[in-house]
Amino acid sequence: MTTRIGLLLFPDLTQLDLTGPLEVFSRMPDAEVSLLWKSREPVASDRGLVMLPTAGFAECAGLDIICVPGGPGQIALMEDTEVLDFLRRIAPGCSLVTSVCTGSLVLGAAGLLTGYRATCHWSSLDQLALFGATPVAERVVRDRNRITGAGVTSGIDFALAVVAEVLGEEAAREVQLQIEYDPAPPFDSGSPRSAGPELLERVSARIAPFIARRRAASEAAARRLG
């Protein structure tokens, strides 16, 4: 049986939030993967990579899995009624409603994480609480039919967890071997838990103005939810 997977492709997303899971999902046996946006016009990521949607919202009648990536463009999505209405329409028919990085804030803005445990990029994890979700500082979080991944690179871990959920652990192991996913980072600084206080403080200060913009957008989206 075909597993219909839709990944939201939107302007100024972080491309690895999308392409990491895409690489994994496209190797699933009997998977049909779509890149979804309002139209089929080219979409540029926050770093300038241009990608083509494969289907518009109106063409998407139903999915088994919906996945929302994150990135700077997520801020605009939280007040984009066309996007939020699409997610509200498609989610009830999905066996899994998922996200990577700050895509979980978009799910929250659509009212799809209220009462669920979820994760997000570490810099914005606390904002999930604005939408009635319980923030969890883990790389992949599963709560009933919601699966959320933390920041950027966690999208691969997240996608392998989804494959294991749908097809079993052995299928996920096969995909992991195909893509030679065998992390051995050169530095132990990929998480606030390992980066050390000085590095964490420096990076946090650098991104603070943007995080303040994101929080303002999250607070406004939460007010609209009521």
101 catalytic residue (yes or no): yes
Looking at residue 1, its pLDDT comes to 87
User: In a 3-state reduction of DSSP, which class is residue 4?
Assistant: strand
In this structure, are residues 214 and 75 in contact, taking their beta carbons and an 8 Å threshold?
Answer: yes
Provide the greatest CA pair distance for the chain: 51
- The band of 137, judged by pLDDT with boundaries at 50, 70 and 90, is very high
pLDDT exceeds 90 at position 226: no
Would you list the domain boundaries of the chain? Answer: 3-225
pLDDT exceeds 90 at position 193: yes
Q: How far apart are CA 196 and CA 188, in angstroms?
A: 9
Please state whether the predicted TM-score (pTM) of the whole model is above 0.75: yes
Residue 175's Cβ-count burial label (10 Å; 0-12, 13-18, 19+) is: buried
Give domain 3-225's CATH architecture: 3-Layer(aba) Sandwich (3.40)
- pLDDT, the chain, mean: 98
In this structure, are residues 56 and 38 in contact, taking their beta carbons and an 8 Å threshold?
Answer: yes
Contacts of 167 (CB under 8 A, 6+ apart): 28, 29
Q: Which of 60, 67, 94, 101 is catalytic?
A: 101
The whole-number average pLDDT for the span 187-196 is 96
Ranges assigned E (strand) in 21-110: 31-37, 43-44, 50-51, 55-56, 65-68, 96-100
Looking at residue 166, its pLDDT comes to 97
The whole-number average pLDDT for the span 64-75 is 98
